[in-house]
Amino acid sequence: MGRRVTISVLAVVAVLAVVSIGLRNRSEMGEGAPPRTGPAMVSVSVPVLAGVAKEGEALFAANCASCHGVNAAGQEGIAPPLVHIIYEPNHHSDAAFHLAVQQGVRAHHWRFGNMRPVDGVSEDDVEMIVAYVRALQRENGIE
């Protein structure tokens, strides 16, 4: 009888562990989790924006800032800054931003985990977001 109880308890613990891991993974992906915030990782000077970059600012705020922070400054413990030498055009082309939105990104430069694809953002939206990020980068000496 004691062995049967031990096996039952272990089975319950295993199920709870699997459920806990699933909930943690959902939370890390943002599904059903409250918004997370962290301190900005870099200081960003913002230029006067116009045209496509100005439109990109609003799209970035709506689709990217919850992770990458206000003005792409990153958020400690959440997502990296895009105003960073790692994302300069010769290392991460505009096409890399398009692929990131469409397919997500496996963690490779930072320890934030993988980025999931961003639903509901069109190719034209990404073009405007990239114009905004590139304007921020230029203003901050990243070209």
For the domain spanning 37-139, the CATH number is 1.10.760.10
**Burial classification of residue 10, based on how many CB atoms lie within 10 Å of its CB (0-12 exposed, 13-18 middle, 19 or more buried):** exposed
When pLDDT is averaged across residues 52-78 and rounded to a whole number, the result is 96
Lookup: tokens for 68: 């990458």
The arithmetic mean of pLDDT across residues 75-87, rounded, is: 94
| % of the chain exceeding 90 in pLDDT | 69
**pLDDT of 102 higher than 50:** yes
Average pLDDT of the segment spanning 50-69 = 97
Q: Write down the domain spans for the chain.
A: 1-34, 37-139
Residue 90: predicted pLDDT: 92
Question: What does the pLDDT average to over 47-54?
Answer: 97
Average pLDDT over residues 108-132: 94
